[in-house]
C-alpha cells in the first residue's frame, strides 16, 4: 500500500513539475509575441499565462503539503490544501479574465494597432498545441488519482488553450478581412470562457472545503454496504462520507444480532470495514460503530453523532 501511495505521489509530482516548466517557457514566448504584435488578444493570452504561472507555483507547493503525513497538530493530515489550491487557481483564472477584458476595452477606446501578425500566429499556435497535450494529461492523472489540485491545474491549462484558439481565430479573421476590431472582440469572448472555468473551480473548491457530499461516491459505498451487511445478517445506518482532497473518510453504525459476542461482532465489523477500504484503496479510512438490534436507533441525527 505504501509503495502504491509513494508511486502515486511521484507521478503527481512529475506532472506538476512538468506543468511548471512549460508555464515558464510559454510565458516567455507569449510575452515576446505580445510585444512584437501589439495585439490585445495576444496580450490577453500572455496575461492569462502570468497568473497561470503563479497558480502552478502555488499548486506545486500545495501538492507537497497535501502528501505530508498526519502529525500532532493535524490529526487528519494536510490533504485539504488541495481544495485551497484549486480555489486559488480559480481565483487566478478569474483575475486573468478581468485583465483581458480591461485590455480589450482599452484597445476599443484608443484604437487597434497590430504588427507582425504571422509571428503572433506561429507562437500562439505552438503554445496551444503544447498546452492541449499537457492539459489533457493533467486532467487524466487528476481523475485517476482523485486529485482536485491536479485536475484544477489541467483545467487551467485548457483555458489557456481556449484563449490561444481565440487569438488564432481573431488574427486569422484580421488577415482575411482586414478588420482589426476582431482582435478585442476575440479577447472579450475568450475572457468569458476563462471566467466560467474560474468560477467552476472556485465552486468545486468551496464544496470540498465544506465537505459537500459526493453523490456518486456515496451511492457506490452504500451499495457495497448493503451487500456486505446482508451477507452477514447485519444492517447499517448513520452513514456519512467525505473526501478531503486525497483521502476518503467513511463512518457508519453497524447493527448486529444481540446474541453475538463482542468478539464475533467486532470480527464481522472488521470484515465490512475492510471491504469498504479495499473499494477506496489506497486512500480509504473507515470507522464503524457497533449497536445491538435491541437498542439500535435509525434516525439520521447528523448533529448528535
Nearest-angstrom CA–CA distance, 118 and 171: 9
Question: Are 232 and 110 members of one domain?
Answer: no
Looking at the fold, whether 63 and 107 belong to one and the same domain comes out as yes
Q: In the chain, how many domains are there?
A: 2
Which residues lie below 8 Å from residue 295, measured CB to CB, with a gap of 6+? none
pTM for this predicted structure: 0.69
Residue 35's pLDDT is what? Answer: 82
Stretch 94-105: mean pLDDT: 81
Q: What residues contact residue 194 under an 8 Å CB cut-off, 6+ apart?
A: 48, 93, 94, 96, 97, 100, 159, 162, 163
pLDDT of residue 229: 95
Closest CA to 139 of 125, 157, 126: 157
Q: Regarding beta strands 235-243 and 248-256, do their DSSP bridges make them parallel or antiparallel, or are they unpaired?
A: antiparallel
In this predicted structure, the answer to whether residue 5 has a pLDDT above a threshold of 90 is no
In whole angstroms, what is the distance from residue 266 CA to residue 132 CA?
51
> Is the domain of 223 the same as that of 140?
no
Residue 297 pLDDT class (50, 70, 90 cuts)? low
In terms of domains, do 177 and 246 share one? no
Give 181's DSSP letter: T
Same domain, 271 and 194: no
- What pLDDT digit, counting tens, does each position of 208-230 carry? 888 888 888 899 999 999 999 99
Is residue 245 scored above 70 in pLDDT? Answer: yes
State which residues form the domain around 266: 215-304
From CA 17, how far away is CA 134, in angstroms rounded? 11
pLDDT at 274 over 90: yes
Domain CATH for 191 = 1.20.1510.10
Q: Do 179 and 271 fall within a single domain?
A: no
pLDDT of residue 54: 82
Residue 4: pLDDT band with limits 50, 70, 90 = very low
* Listed residues 192, 209, 226: the one ending a domain: 209
pLDDT band for 275, please (50, 70, 90 cuts). Answer: very high
Amino acid at each position: 500500500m505504501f509503495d502504491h501511495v509513494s508511486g502515486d505521489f511521484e507521478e503527481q509530482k512529475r506532472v506538476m513539475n512538468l506543468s511548471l516548466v512549460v508555464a515558464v517557457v510559454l510565458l516567455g514566448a507569449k510575452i515576446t509575441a505580445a510585444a512584437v504584435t501589439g495585439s490585445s488578444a495576444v496580450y490577453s493570452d500572455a496575461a492569462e499565462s502570468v497568473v497561470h504561472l503563479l497558480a502552478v507555483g502555488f499548486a506545486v507547493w500545495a501538492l507537497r503539503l497535501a502528501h505530508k503525513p498526519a502529525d500532532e497538530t493535524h490529526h487528519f493530515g494536510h490533504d485539504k490544501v488541495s481544495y485551497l489550491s484549486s480555489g486559488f487557481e480559480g481565483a487566478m483564472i478569474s483575475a486573468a479574465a478581468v485583465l483581458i477584458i480591461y485590455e480589450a476595452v482599452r484597445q476599443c477606446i484608443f484604437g487597434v494597432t497590430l504588427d507582425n501578425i504571422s509571428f503572433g500566429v506561429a507562437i500562439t499556435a505552438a503554445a496551444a498545441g503544447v498546452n492541449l497535450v499537457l492539459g489533457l494529461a493533467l486532467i487524466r492523472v487528476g481523475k485517476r488519482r482523485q486529485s482536485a489540485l491536479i485536475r484544477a491545474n489541467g483545467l487551467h491549462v485548457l483555458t489557456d488553450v481556449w484563449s490561444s484558439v481565440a487569438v488564432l481565430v481573431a488574427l486569422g479573421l484580421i488577415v482575411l478581412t482586414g478588420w482589426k476590431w476582431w482582435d478585442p472582440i476575440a479577447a472579450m469572448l475568450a475572457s468569458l470562457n476563462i471566467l466560467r472555468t474560474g468560477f467552476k473551480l472556485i465552486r468545486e473548491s468551496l464544496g470540498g472545503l465544506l465537505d459537500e457530499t459526493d453523490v456518486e461516491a456515496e451511492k457506490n459505498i452504500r451499495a457495497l454496504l448493503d451487500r456486505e451487511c446482508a451477507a452477514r445478517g447485519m444492517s447499517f445506518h448513520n452513514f456519512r462520507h467525505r473526501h478531503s482532497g486525497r483521502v476518503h473518510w467513511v463512518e457508519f453504525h453497524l447493527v448486529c444480532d444481540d446474541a453475538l459476542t463482542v468478539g464475533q461482532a467486532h470480527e464481522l465489523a472488521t470484515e465490512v470495514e475492510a471491504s469498504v477500504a479495499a473499494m477506496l484503496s489506497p486512500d480509504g479510512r473507515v470507522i464503524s460503530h457497533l449497536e445491538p438490534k435491541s437498542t439500535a436507533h435509525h434516525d439520521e441525527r447528523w448533529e448528535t453523532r
